[in-house]
Structure formats: structure tokens, C-alpha cells
Structure 1
Amino acid sequence: MGQRLNVRSTGHEEVERVWQRFVPSARLDRIDPKRVSFSWDSVELPGFSTVAYELAASVHSSIRMDDQIMACRLVGDSVRLEADGHSVDPRRPWLGAGGSTEAQWTHTARVRAFVFDRTDAERVARLATGDDRLVLRRLAPSARDRDAGLQWERSFSYVSTALNAVHDDAILAVELRRHALMSTLSAFHTPYLDAMQRTHQRSAAPRTVRRAVAHIEAHAREPLTLEDIAAASGISARGLQHAFRRALDTTPTEYLRLVRLSGAHEELRAGTAVSVAEVARRWGFSSASRFARYHREHYGQNPAQIARMF
């Protein structure tokens, strides 16, 4: 089922040629051809590839991921990464999922990457979450935190090692491909994580709480009080508070804030927002500074950073 590719070369033309087989948009904009040493190992499956290569050269490269998603860890000398002109922390795995990414290093770099077909990845993510509208575009490029980055690196090591051993076994290869995708979508801030959380909450909660959750998500951009939510759920406000705490370990008000925060975050990522303050107002946050604090606590970034990035 899978195709293995091993390349050893000292020619810089080979580097770009091989990369473009897996990522057609890949470009080596600048490379020192006098000192090139290239070692490449990959396994290619339908809609998915694992890539591991080492390149000894001073390089400036670029990719534009329109129809693909690439999760990557680049280790080297004087590494610099930029996503759509904004700096990305090179000490963690990064994600290319729409827009352009540029990488620069000197001497030698080691690259480890998963490359997914975007349409196939969205299909799998929708089946996993039950959200038929889920899209994976223009995602934040940095891993959620250090632990998430380390977990992704462990997943890469496991998947790439296992695929090299069982790439001809169709059943195992498909399972490994799914594991690679789920670990990647969990390591970064993606709609997949939010959808999985909502799915779990709905299935575990009693009927009154599920009705409240559905009402909150349908009317999050409208004025909502605790009493409004309770009335839509057929329970008293006090009873709904207790039900939420037992089922979800939160309150209806806190859940409403989380839904609004998620909606505002998605609007900022869409790149259509006039200002952060306007987005905060539209999603029911009376204070832009309080919205910024909630956003930092939940997403690890200021909302202004997200707006500039996208």
C-alpha cells in the first residue's frame, strides 16, 4: 500500500525535486550549492506521507499549503520560521495549513514532517467529531504548548517507525495514518479540539443540559441570561446550575462565555474582522481588555496576534 523512498544526494537540484513530489509548492529560494549533503526517507500513502530528511547547506525555503496540511519539526543551526510574515517559535513543531511559511537555517537541519491531503483530513475529522461543517484552514501555526509539542514528536517517531515496518499492510497503514492525523489535530489549536469537546459534553450530559447547550450554541451572539437558558431547557435556573456542575463541571454562564470566545476566535482567524474590540462586542464581551484576558488564558495568545497572523 505504501511507497518508500530513500534518497542520498550531493546535488541541490535533487533536494527541491524530491520535496516537490510530496509538497508541490515547496521552493528552495536560496541554497549554498557548494556544501550540499542530502539524506531523505519517506513513506507515502494515499492522502498522507511521513518525511524525514537531513540537509547540510545554508537554506532559505518556502511552502504554501493550500490543498495540504503539514505538521513539521525542524531542528538546526540558526533556524528562523515565519508564517505569513509572523515569527514562529522554532523550538516547537509547527503547522502549515493555509498561507505561506518560510524557513531559514545555516549549516545543517533535520526535518520531520507529516503531510496530509486537506480534503481527506477534513473528511476524517468530520467523521470523528460528527461536525459536518468542520474545516481545517488557516490554523494557528504553533503547537498549543510544550507538552503538546513533545507528544506530537513522540507520535511522529512511533508512526514513522511503524510505517517503515508495515507500509505494505493496508489495515495497519490506515490506522497509523489516522493516529498521525488525530495526534496532529490535538497538538495544535484546531476546530477539531473544540468539536470533540462539544461532542463529549453532549453525549455525557442529561437531556436538560443538552438542551441548554444547544440553545447556547444557537443563540450565543444574542443577549442571553441564565433565566433564558433555563426556560429553553425546561428547568429552573437553580436546577440548571446544579445540572451543569454535575455533568460538565462548569456553569451555564461559563459555558456561554466559552462558546462566545470560540466564535470570536474563529472570526479573528478568518481575517475579516475590522478590529479586536468590534469582534469582542459582537460576541457579547462588554470589555475588550477582559476579552483579551480570556483569550490569552484559553488560546495562549493575544487576540491581536491572531488578527495580525490571519
Structure 2
Amino acid sequence: MSQAIPSLPARPRLVGSQDMPPMVAARIEAEFEAPALPLVMLSPDQLLEAALAHRPEALLVTSGTSVPAALIHALPDCVRQVATVSVGFDHIDRRALQDRGIILTNTPDVLTDCNADLTFMLILGACRRATEYAAVIRSGWGRPLGMTELLGIQVTGKTLGIVGMGRIGRAVARRARGFGMQVLYHNRTRLPPELEQEAIFVSDLDAMLPRCQVLSLHVPGGPNTNTLIGTRQLALLPDRAVLVNAARGSLLDEDALFAALDSGRLSAAGLDVFRNEPSIDIRFLDHPKLFLTPHVGSATMETRTAMGLRALDNIASIHAGNGPLDLVA
């Protein structure tokens, strides 16, 4: 009598909200049951429609994909996980997920260095007036610059204040040491000495701000940090300080920022994130003291690939009964 051959377990089922780098897309095709990834990011309504049609175990989304309560409560019971290809998760209604018993995972660690690199690009670009230099070149240049024209701020030797000394904040501090910068940091709790690496902890943000010639923000978005930096905080910075934000646009009062730039209180700012992205305030479009990038902190092929693969690792692990690798508590 022939012995029955055990059937292989079904592949994990997922629905993705947008396209992914080639290695990620190839793995989805090889190891998962999924409809073709959309070339244009799905709206919440479209994401729900896809979930109802394909009945996945997991939704694979990105930081640009809103996952509101209305979508979550309408999801079919088969959905057990939302895997976001990001560290931040303020685009997802966590309470609604908890109400439904749906697991949320993210992708920490793999984008730390990439975001820290971009942060330092913002610091250098803002301090050295990169926007204005590029405008001179694109206008044809045409004459030698005078000895006092377009003078920037030297980064080397300045004092850098970091708000939020998590993985990315610590990676920025490591880069700052290569420029001979003194690093101060404000955090909910002081780090152990081996993680501080000579950075100086300041428990009171207001006490740190007057010492920061460059201030860089690295805390998550959400109600607890909304408008963390406004008129009062900007007034505490020393004259001609530089502000950098590669974390979340909600941290910064943009009206206060423009007032500080226009008054000369701030020398410049470098921003990768905005309150109303991608439809940003038109004042950002031609302000000479701003060095801007369009929320691209993780935008390298290596990092986006690693993020996508880590999200798939989380989906595969839950499908196999091993639990999430990167559970958002």
C-alpha cells in the first residue's frame, strides 16, 4: 500500500500597497501568494478593496500608506498582520489594530546608517548654503564671487544637539565625531556610558537648546511629540543656529520656522520631512535658507531592499508559527 505524500504548507498570502525593489518583488513572487504589486501607491480604499478580493494574511505597506481605523475595522478576518516597511508607524492606527487583534511589525535597524547619512547631508547642505550654491551654478555663474559672498557655516568643531538618542541619533553622533563636533543629547532617559560614547546628556531640553549651534531631531511622530519645536524653543537656540529634521514633519511648527529664518534668528535649516507632505507649504519652494529633500532618508537601493526583505521575514515568521521578529508593542 503506497504511503500518502504530505502536502506542503500553503505559502503566506499578502497584499502590497506599492511597488518594491527588484529583490523584494522577486522574493514575493517566489515565496508568497500575492497579486502583482501596484506601480502607484494604493489609497486606503484601494488597499481595502484588494484585501477583500485576495483575502491575505498580511498587508505589506510603507510609511506613505495611510492605514486608518475605518480600513482596519473593515478588513476581512483572514488578515492577521500589517507589516510596515519603515521604522515609524504613525501612519497606522495602532489602537484599531489592537481592537482587531492584528499584529503590527516594522523594520528597525536596517535603515539606521542610511538615515544618519542623509541627516549629515542635511547638516552640511544647510550649513554650507548648498541650495544657493546650486542656484548660482544653474544660473550660469558668470563672475567670480567676492570674499564675503555666500559665506556658510563651518561644521567642523561646532556643537551638535541631538533630540532623541535612539539608533539613528547615535549613528548621527558617530558621524559628528568625525567632524570634531561636541555632541549633546536630550532623551527620555540617559544612555549607558558605552552607548553615549562621550556625548553629553542634558535632561532638560530647554537647558540644552542655548548650547546647540546645530540641532537635529530624531524622535518619533505622534501626539506626544507634536510641535516639539516651536517659537519658544527656536528662540532658545543661539543666534544663527542651524536646524535639521529628518524624523517627522509633525515635530516642527513650520510657521515658527519661517519666522526664525526670516528674522535671521536661524541661519538655515535642512529638512527631509514636512507636515503636509507631499503637498508641502509653498513657502518652502523658493526659500534660499532651506536645504530640502523629499522624505528620502532610506532611499538607497541597499536600504530599501533590506527593509522590504525584513518585512517579508516578519510575515514568513508569523505564517510559520514562530511569531513576529519585530513586533511593535
What TM-score do you get using the length of structure 1 for normalisation?
0.28
RCO comparison, higher one (Cα < 8 Å, 6+): 2
The structure with the largest helix share of the pair is 1
Output the TM-score relative to the length of structure 2: 0.27
